[in-house]
Amino acid sequence: MDELHQLAKAYYQAGSPELKNEARELFNSLDNDGDGRVDKNEFLSFMTQQGYRYMNTQRFFNELDTDGNHTLDFWEVMTLLYIFKSGRPFCDGCGRFIPATYFTCLQCPNYDLCISCYGNGKSGHNHPFMDSYALLAVVKKRSDVNQVTDDDDQSESYTAMRGIVPAEKYRKRMFALKALQATLEVATNCNTM
């Protein structure tokens, strides 16, 4: 969680006036009594009102409370805002917050597992998963595929496929091929370590 605190602080310091205002508003909406701190009851009450079921726990409050003083200061609440905005997941296996690398199902939207649950086979189904870093590598490589257009007759493979496979299907197949290549590349790198 320390790394997330550092990320949140960096985003705040480099952020726009709108982001800084949003952070202050969030802090003030959590700090009901105006004492400059958010205690467990204020936090849990806010999470209940907002419908954040996974975040509405003593465990998550304790994870945010990195200094262990049983209250959240502004920077700890800023970390909460970063978690909201970045969409950091909670594990669908054990329900815990995932502050770092996780596995995501490639077929089920928004189904994520912590490393422990994935390693213990708690996925609940037989779909393929990819860790967050490998998935990011695939997304980055996708931009290469998106550069193929109907006017891109310079590509031998595209010219060979033209007329046989519609352009959109070709792009999708190329994306799938690039994703597979990236996954194999990551898997090969992981196996050599």
The per-residue pLDDT for range 63-119, each reduced to its tens digit, is 999 999 999 999 999 999 988 888 888 898 888 889 888 998 888 878 899 999 998
pLDDT at 149 over 50: no
Q: Which CATH superfamily is domain 2-86 in?
A: EF-hand (1.10.238.10)
Distances (CA, A) of 159 to 90, 147, 155: 45, 15, 6
Domain boundaries along the sequence of the chain: 2-86, 128-192
Q: Has this prediction a pTM greater than 0.85?
A: no
- Tokens 């995932």, located at residue: 98
Question: How many angstroms separate the CA atoms of 100 and 33, rounded?
Answer: 33
